[in-house]
Structure 1
Amino acid sequence: MKLNDNIVALATPSGAGAIAVIRVSGPDAIELVAPIFKAKSRKDLREQPSHTLHLGNIIDGERILDEVLVSVFHGPKSYTGENTIEISCHGSPYIQQEIIQLLIRKGCRSAEAGEFTLRAFLNGKMDLSQAEAVADLISSENQASHQMAMQQMRGGFSNEIQKLRQELLNFASLIELELDFAEEDVEFANRDQFKDLVSRIQHVLKRLIDSFAVGNVLKNGIPVAIVGEPNVGKSTLLNALLNEERAIVSEIAGTTRDTIEDEISIGGVGFRFIDTAGIRETEDVVESIGIKRTFEKISQAQVVLYLFDASRLSTSDRHPELVSGSSTSEDGNSPTLDQVKLEIEKIRNQFPQKPLVILANKVDKLSREARANLKSHISDLNTISAKSGEGVEDLQQKLLQFFNTGELRNNNTIVTNTRHYNALLSALEEINKVQEGLNNNLSGDLLAIDIREALHYFGEITGEITNDDLLGNIFANFCIGK
């Protein structure tokens, strides 16, 4: 794409609304808009100072298209660093297109996806990681993802990387200088100070890399799988968590034959709940596929909720006290406590790294004594009634506790971008080579090779080092008009 011409695009979502904003950017943006804008004050738009707002009409010849507000921004003090005009018009799709087509006839071209932000990057208004944060900010759907995007857009991540890169660059310059005086055998770069810097860089890189595990799930919504036997209330629990009738609830076992997903925000953090098919032995082909998908979803989830029906536990010689005051069925199909514990153990053994929350559902049908007895037999048991909502709020708070959001509260840098994560891994690998070289007293020319590689990966993050393919991939994911 050309980057020195004049571009136009709708900056607000398409469709009807109260108002719409049309953005124009380029060296002649003000010159192009001025002839088609008649201000109520009769002032010439070309003579107005930057960051001013003007009321008037957009005209096409003798025809008035709309009464609008025009914002004037002179480069470089604008979002793109270029002369920029923003036209706030009425939100009729017809009016929007009439104004855009008029501007195209006057010399603008339609902007590509992310082209305004690309120009902001190329004109030095923001670095590459900040530009990527713009897209994250637009797509943020909860407090956590919004806060992470804002922190990155303000340059928190960039500043941290830039500072390390500059310190490493200073030492690299000294080592490169040593190479010019190789015959004199002089040492400009203090090796002890360099070892301290390398150690500090390793510590920061490891912290940033570790933060990706938290940042990635917070950005995309933490997946939580709801599992258990058929007809224990999994779909009812999903509906209770979402506060809407999202899943079909039926007394017929095996109603849910595929996974159902939906996302909500709890305490500012996005959680994606997955209602799965009930786990049981079955000859039904469709239900078997659903059960297979259940285990796939468990493997993808960050947290597993195992649900069982406390009111249906059958009597046994070992635990007769559990059914005191309950409406227990003794039809031979109800599970015993030992069977429930065995199923819990199977999930723990198969997925040992995943937090497992054990939920005894339908406890509203149990006496207080039966509840207490049940808790004495299963450690870390949580009691709920998905139908009445009892215990659902406590469950939500428990889910929040699994994730260390202290870094968010302390405004620490959290990595959420896969490209940044891969670049950090590569930078750490090169820094480890530098440390190994220092420990083995390698010559400066060999150290310089690994230092240059580390600097390369630092530069990739902030955009000091880039190429057209990389920029194309990044900005292709932006919405048009941003």
Structure 2
Amino acid sequence: MLPNDTIIALATPSGAGAIAVLRLSGKDAIRIADEKFRSVKGKKLSGQKSHTIHLGHITDGPKVLDEVLVSIFKGPHSYTGENVVEISCHGSPYIQREIIQLFLRNGCRMANAGEFTLRAFLNGKLDLSQAEAVADLIASDNEASHQVAIQQMRGGFSGEIEKLRQELLDFASLIELELDFAEEDVEFADRSRFEELLQRIELVLKRLIDSFAVGNVIKNGIPVAIVGAPNVGKSTLLNALLNEERAIVSDIAGTTRDTIEDEMVISGIGFRFIDTAGIRETEDVVESIGIKKTFEKITQAQVVIYLFDASHFAENSKTIIVEIEKIKNKFPQKPLLILANKIDLADADQIKNSLDYENLLLISARENTGIDSLKDKLLEFVNTGALRNNETIVTNSRHYDALLKALGDIQKVQHGLQSGLSGDLLAIDIREALYHFGEITGQVTNDELLGNIFANFCIGK
């Protein structure tokens, strides 16, 4: 059921600021605001055009709470599809609280998390994948995640899914029609064209499913573990990458007793660097725990950087090679970057001749030498081709799960078609595929699903 009450919430971050925006939505939003708003020109909000702004005061009886600007948006031409009022007041927490409490006493209730966007979905202003993209857009903290969220919010992903769903639905209708004429043994659905459609749907679904690998790292950032022996410059490298003194640097081996994490954006892609405790044999209980965590972080990382001290390569070369091979054998699927640090104090040719590894870079973290080459190399591990080509990229695990299930159902239909299954059996798997398509865009939904999705939104959105 569509809600018929009026909700209110602070739409800007809480706390003091220059201004704050309070948002009301509901069929009575304009009427309720009208009762507490005194226009400087004596206007009534209910008599004004949609998408207009009015200067005046919010009053509680004879008491003036603040001078404000009130914007009105009449449904259905608003974000929620209902009447919406936005009050721009001064950013004092006291003023915000007083105005909200005034409206709560006069016909409004506090909005739940994401309820404005939920109402937009229920009123057909957004489909479910677009509504989820709103939350992703708010959470985006780099160019790539922003670009993907904008594309999805504008309907790029849902448009592609809806087109496939509609074509499949058209064929499903013909097959269902055949069931009504089963005794006459007629075929309304051209089986060869249907097979072509299923192949096309399968290719699109596989492309979207594969894009999740890229979409997930774009949305959440790419975890990169920096590992190596103690005192080889891991913390110095982290500081050089972040361009700040984030980690403690000293000549004492084992300074880093725990993992240190920080994030940076390289060419629009977020990376989360994890500076770990050094890998070595030790009787120090605290340091041993740190080394154990190092291997845990390598397991969680998508890229591993192994760092060694180039200035002591001659005496440590065997140990360095053993540690590199240990990481490669233990984590064969993870991209491994090998960095020879302090190269300004070492024989570069000797290192190149001794280590025959593809991803070997010579750097000096302290002198900031080779850091740009390292950043370029990290970007090579991220397939951003789909992003550059403005292709649809899946970032939502719920969508990914629904796409996997839809692909399974489409492949069942293909197998059934090739095996000559009857139309009624084909129709069962087609309905399942349509169901999973509908889950993505919200044509198939339930209260529990909506509750889980919108509970992650901020209040006021």
TM over 0.5: yes
2:354 to 372, 377, 381: 377
Aligned to 1:352: 332
> In the alignment, does 2:196 pair up with 1:182?
no
Aligned to 1:112: 112
Taking the aligned partners of 1:282 and 1:253, their CA distance within structure 2 comes to: 11
Comparing 10-19 with 283-292, greater Cα deviation is found at 283-292
Aligned to 1:221: 221
User: 1:359 is paired with a residue of what secondary structure?
Assistant: strand
Aligned to 1:31: 31
Percent identity, please.
Answer: 73
User: 2:13 is paired with a residue of what secondary structure?
Assistant: coil
Aligned to 1:323: none
Aligned to 2:410: 431
> In the alignment, does 2:364 pair up with 1:364?
no
Taking the aligned partners of 2:334 and 2:354, their CA distance within structure 1 comes to: 22
User: 1:360 is paired with a residue of what secondary structure?
Assistant: strand
Structure 1 gaps, min length 5: 316-334
User: 1:314 is paired with a residue of what secondary structure?
Assistant: helix
Taking the aligned partners of 1:264 and 1:287, their CA distance within structure 2 comes to: 27
> In the alignment, does 2:127 pair up with 1:127?
yes
Taking the aligned partners of 1:54 and 1:396, their CA distance within structure 2 comes to: 51
Query: What is the Cα deviation at residue 469 of structure 1?
Result: 0.3
Taking the aligned partners of 1:37 and 1:147, their CA distance within structure 2 comes to: 39
Query: What is the Cα deviation at residue 338 of structure 1?
Result: 2.7
Taking the aligned partners of 1:2 and 1:475, their CA distance within structure 2 comes to: 16
> In the alignment, does 2:82 pair up with 1:76?
no
Comparing 387-396 with 165-174, greater Cα deviation is found at 387-396
Aligned to 2:53: 53
Aligned to 1:394: 373
Name the aligned partner's letter for residue 348 of structure 2: R
Taking the aligned partners of 1:354 and 1:173, their CA distance within structure 2 comes to: 47
What is the 5 A alignment of 1:260-409? 260-315=260-315, 335=316, 337-366=317-346, 370-378=347-355, 379-380=357-358, 381-409=360-388
Name the aligned partner's letter for residue 341 of structure 2: N
What is the 5 A alignment of 1:464-479? 464-479=443-458
Query: What is the Cα deviation at residue 314 of structure 1?
Result: 3.4
Name the aligned partner's letter for residue 348 of structure 1: K
CA deviations over 1:305-342 (Å, ceiling 9, x no partner) = 00000012235xxxxxxxxxxxxxxxxxxx1x232122
Name the aligned partner's letter for residue 432 of structure 2: E
Taking the aligned partners of 2:460 and 2:267, their CA distance within structure 1 comes to: 32
CA deviations over 1:147-185 (Å, ceiling 9, x no partner) = 111111000000000000000000000000000000000
Q: Do 2:2 and 2:122's aligned partners in 1 also have CA atoms closer than 8 Å?
A: no
Taking the aligned partners of 2:55 and 2:370, their CA distance within structure 1 comes to: 56
Call closer, same or farther: CA 1:269–1:376 in 2, change over 3 Å: same
User: 1:313 is paired with a residue of what secondary structure?
Assistant: helix
CA deviations over 1:84-131 (Å, ceiling 9, x no partner) = 000011110000011111111110000000000000000000000000
Query: What is the Cα deviation at residue 41 of structure 1?
Result: 2.1
Taking the aligned partners of 2:174 and 2:69, their CA distance within structure 1 comes to: 56
Query: What is the Cα deviation at residue 2 of structure 1?
Result: 7.6
Aligned to 1:240: 240
Taking the aligned partners of 1:61 and 1:264, their CA distance within structure 2 comes to: 52
Taking the aligned partners of 2:60 and 2:386, their CA distance within structure 1 comes to: 54
CA deviations over 1:5-50 (Å, ceiling 9, x no partner) = 0000000000001111000000000000012111122211110000
Taking the aligned partners of 1:266 and 1:21, their CA distance within structure 2 comes to: 34
Aligned to 1:440: 419
Taking the aligned partners of 1:433 and 1:190, their CA distance within structure 2 comes to: 18
Q: Do 2:21 and 2:87's aligned partners in 1 also have CA atoms closer than 8 Å?
A: yes
Taking the aligned partners of 1:180 and 1:2, their CA distance within structure 2 comes to: 36
Taking the aligned partners of 1:284 and 1:63, their CA distance within structure 2 comes to: 68
User: 2:314 is paired with a residue of what secondary structure?
Assistant: coil
- Please report the TM-score for the alignment, with normalisation by the length of structure 1: 0.94
Taking the aligned partners of 1:112 and 1:438, their CA distance within structure 2 comes to: 48
Q: Do 2:313 and 2:351's aligned partners in 1 also have CA atoms closer than 8 Å?
A: no
Taking the aligned partners of 1:115 and 1:303, their CA distance within structure 2 comes to: 39
User: 1:298 is paired with a residue of what secondary structure?
Assistant: helix
Taking the aligned partners of 1:400 and 1:66, their CA distance within structure 2 comes to: 51
Runs of 4+ residues over 6 Å off in structure 1 = none
Aligned to 2:254: 254
Taking the aligned partners of 1:54 and 1:467, their CA distance within structure 2 comes to: 40
Name the aligned partner's letter for residue 436 of structure 2: Y
Q: Do 2:240 and 2:366's aligned partners in 1 also have CA atoms closer than 8 Å?
A: yes
CA deviations over 1:182-212 (Å, ceiling 9, x no partner) = 0000000000000000000100000111111
Query: What is the Cα deviation at residue 421 of structure 1?
Result: 0.5
> What is the Cα-based RMSD across aligned positions, in Å?
1.1
Aligned to 2:171: 171
Taking the aligned partners of 1:296 and 1:92, their CA distance within structure 2 comes to: 46
Taking the aligned partners of 1:382 and 1:2, their CA distance within structure 2 comes to: 60
Name the aligned partner's letter for residue 394 of structure 1: S
What is the 5 A alignment of 1:171-210? 171-210=171-210
Name the aligned partner's letter for residue 365 of structure 2: A
Aligned to 1:97: 97
Taking the aligned partners of 1:165 and 1:6, their CA distance within structure 2 comes to: 35
- Please report the TM-score for the alignment, with normalisation by the length of structure 2: 0.98
Query: What is the Cα deviation at residue 372 of structure 1?
Result: 2.3
How many residues are aligned here?
459
Q: Do 2:264 and 2:270's aligned partners in 1 also have CA atoms closer than 8 Å?
A: yes
Taking the aligned partners of 1:172 and 1:47, their CA distance within structure 2 comes to: 50
Taking the aligned partners of 2:56 and 2:229, their CA distance within structure 1 comes to: 66
Comparing 80-89 with 385-394, greater Cα deviation is found at 385-394
Aligned to 1:421: 400
Taking the aligned partners of 1:4 and 1:239, their CA distance within structure 2 comes to: 55
Q: Do 2:16 and 2:93's aligned partners in 1 also have CA atoms closer than 8 Å?
A: yes
User: 1:382 is paired with a residue of what secondary structure?
Assistant: strand
